[in-house]
Amino acid sequence: MKNNRNRLLSNGLFYIVVFLLLLWGINWALGGSNNSGSSENISYSQFVKDLRQGKVKSFSVQPANGVYTVSGSYKTAQTTKNQSNNSFDFFSNNSSRKVSRFSTTMLQNDSTVSNVQNLAQKSNARMTTQGESQSGNWISTIVMLVPTVLFIVMLWMMMNQGGAGRGGGGGIMNFGRSHVKPEDPSKNKVRFSDVAGEEEEKQELVEVVEFLKDPSKYTKLGARIPSGVLLEGPPGTGKTLLARAVAGEANVPFYSISGSDFVEMFVGVGASRVRDLFNNAKKNAPSIIFIDEIDAIGRRRGNGTGGGNDEREQTLNQLLVEMDGFEGDEGVIVIAATNRSDVLDPALLRPGRFDRKVLVGRPDVRGREAILKVHAKNKPLAPDVDLKEVARQTPGFVGADLANVLNEAALVAARRNGTEITASDIDEAEDRVIAGPAKKDRLISEKERRRVAFHEAGHSICGLVLSDSRTVRKVTIVPRGRAGGYNIMLPKDDQFILTKKQLFEQIVGLMGGRAGEEATIGDKSTGASNDFEQATQIAHSMVVNYGMTESLGMVELEKEGESNPYGFKPYSEATSAKIDEAVKKILDEAHAKALEIVKDNKEKHRIIAEALLKYETLNEKQIMALYKTGKMPEKDEDEYPSESKASTYEEAKAAAEKREVEKAEKKDSDQALADQEKDTLETPSEKNHEVEENNPENPEKDQSENETSTQDTPADDEHKDN
């Protein structure tokens, strides 16, 4: 019963009904009830008209607020429409009714009064006068104050509604309280087995789980469990998933909040929410508090960007106090995630607050394969899908990227009405994730197509010649996103350290597009703008981060990945000029090297470009065959029509359905052929058996024939698979 009453009070409809009832009561108190059937308010002209017609029996005149108020009665009841002039009367209707009394106002001047007296004498109406009334001023004052009083009452009711009816979390006066509610441990189904590709990171968090399950194991030995764990890594690497897995394994309440949720427009709100959050966590201990993007409130203090009274600094100060005030038996652990640990305040990172720092980096090839297996559990994969190969083709991808690739592959398979995800679907999904959807409807002139083909062929030639560390996996001239074509070069192995030679070769590969255009067409185009952007970034890092130039030496002039919003540079203008010269020198040398490679392999460059114009897309096998032999390899059957043959979605879908029918017919034909060959093989075996019974003297010949039949079987199976 109490819960039902609280639910009623928390319902906004209840307050609307109360508000309307109050309006009706005020309307009734101000005279609205008099309109129910006995009196009406008429205009002065109507009063004069009724007086001339002899309808008025008697009336009285009383001064009030600078006018005369006239009220009287009719000789006989008059029929009138039920219309109210009261601004608070929302409940009247327009039906007809009988009235016996009336009221009106007229100006305070002698001519008006004299005119009314004359008309009253002529119509035998009794006229009386009264003294000035003082109640009108009070009524006007009350009418003006009623809306203000009603607004204050409604505001007070809303405040009480948020504080009591909603448990104190969502009211207008409760913005200082944390809105985070603990997640029910029984509903958290995430376990360490659901986190793939991060074995070392999981090991670092096992102790946290064991402490939450059995804290006495550590406390009796005098050990202190880390009060905070900082997860650092690029977006999408699974930091939040790791924190949820810790809470799921420990089976404890899990509080999740973003760093930006602490900061509001009111001063002191962030600090208040920090206190409330930690108080709730302590009440439900053992528990875990997860703060995502903690750099929103944990940035280094004293950088001059927050003004005189920075709200973020107050919030950070309160967070430091709460984290350092833990006792050994409270059982509250803070897990925070960020991808900018370099901007965090040193006091937040010291031992006693975030004792343990776990780097959640991009997974290697084995980690990507494990992640793909997790995300592929509920997806039907075709036999030609090799997740290990997919993992090799996606270096630098994080868990979120890999999940997106498999999801896009499922969508691609659904578009062609497929029943399973094939390797071609995954290949198309990778292209969509990397470069965006194909622009099949874009009209491109033959001249521009030829330029794009020689541009991409230039990239490929440079990548094939300088293939010590990278391989050319795919090249296409099909427009995707803002690119007219693209070339995918992947490292042969996961690389964590790059040499100067490898970085220079990457720049040469990027310059290969412009070199390909210059060597064949001659004129330069804007198609290499993105190549120059990437090449400049690599060359700039070689100079200012890695110390790979002789002119500037082994000096780190800038921190990698750090940008200054005010444009401040920690070096002089002379050093800046030297940096520009060093970067330009690297780019010029790379361009000269790329032009040299293209000219030395002019024929191979032309062959690859012409193949691109014909087939539009070349894979690794085809590119290598063209480079080595000048010919395309044996034609492989495509899983679905190439992008060049499908200009619209409807065409691609129809062609895909036709291809599925052809595959099914081919499969039936191969099965029938295999059955026929099997029958043919069984017949000699039966004859050999008969010969063995009739000629036991010659077993060697029978054995030879049987061996011959056995050797044919694998060949037939191979033919069937193909």
pLDDT tens column, 116-139: 888 888 888 888 887 766 555 566
Domain ranges of the chain: 7-33, 37-82+95-157, 185-301+310-359, 365-434, 442-629
What radius of gyration do the chain's Cα atoms show?
43
Confirm whether residue 240 is marked as ligand binding.
yes
237 is in an annotated binding site: yes
CA 94 from chain center: how many Å?
55
Q: Cα separation of 434 and 437, whole Å?
A: 9
Distances (CA, A) of 250 to 165, 211, 215, 246, 342: 33, 9, 11, 6, 30
Question: 68 in helix, strand or coil?
Answer: strand
Look up residue 132 and give its DSSP letter.
P
Q: CATH assignment of 442-629, given 1.20.58.760, 1.10.10.10, 2.170.190.11, 3.10.50.40? A: 1.20.58.760
**Crossing angle of the two packed helices 649-694 and 699-721, in degrees rounded to 10:** 180
Residue 228 has a pLDDT of 87
| Tokens linked to 575 | 């050093």
Burial class (CB in 10 A: 0-12, 13-18, 19+), 410: buried
Please indicate if the annotation marks 235 as binding a ligand.
Answer: yes
List of the chain residues with pLDDT < 70? 1-16, 19, 23-38, 81-96, 132-140, 143, 157-181, 185, 264-268, 303-310, 325-330, 440-441, 560-568, 635-671, 673-722
Distance CA 342, CA 112 (A): 88
CA proximity to 643, closest of 412, 419, 418: 412
Fold of 185-301+310-359: Rossmann fold (3.40.50)
Catalytic annotation on 693? no
Contact 399, 639 (CB under 8 A): no
233 is in an annotated binding site: yes
Instruction: Round to whole Å and give the CA distance between 50 and 340.
Output: 86
Q: Do domains 37-82+95-157 and 185-301+310-359 have the same CATH topology?
A: no
Indicate the pTM of the whole model: 0.63
Q: Is 395 annotated as a binding residue?
A: no
- 402 within 8 A of 443, measured Cβ to Cβ: no
The three-point CA angle 131-132-134 to 5° equals 130
Q: Helices (DSSP H) in 470-520: which residue ranges?
A: 500-520
Contact 656, 687 (CB under 8 A): no
The CATH code belonging to domain 37-82+95-157 is: 3.30.720.210
The pLDDT of residue 451 is: 92
512-546 per-residue burial string, b: 16 or more CB within 10 A, e: under 16: bbbbbbbbbeeeeeebbeebeeebbebbbbbbbeb
DSSP assignment of 144-210 equals HHHHHHHHHHHHHHHHHIIIIITTTSSSTT-TTS----PBPGGG----GGG--S-HHHHHHHHHHHH
| Cα gap 186→253, rounded to integer Å | 9
Among 201, 204, 249, 456, which one carries the catalytic annotation?
A: 456
- In angstroms, rounded to a whole number, what is the distance separating the alpha carbons of residues 456 and 458? 5
Q: Which residue has the tokens 């990945």?
A: 561
Q: How much is the pLDDT for 249? A: 86
Q: Is residue 239 annotated as involved in ligand binding?
A: yes
**Residue 33's pLDDT is what?**
44
The topology (CATH level 3) of 365-434 is Helicase, Ruva Protein; domain 3 (1.10.8)
Length of the chain: 722
Predicted local confidence at residue 609, as pLDDT: 92
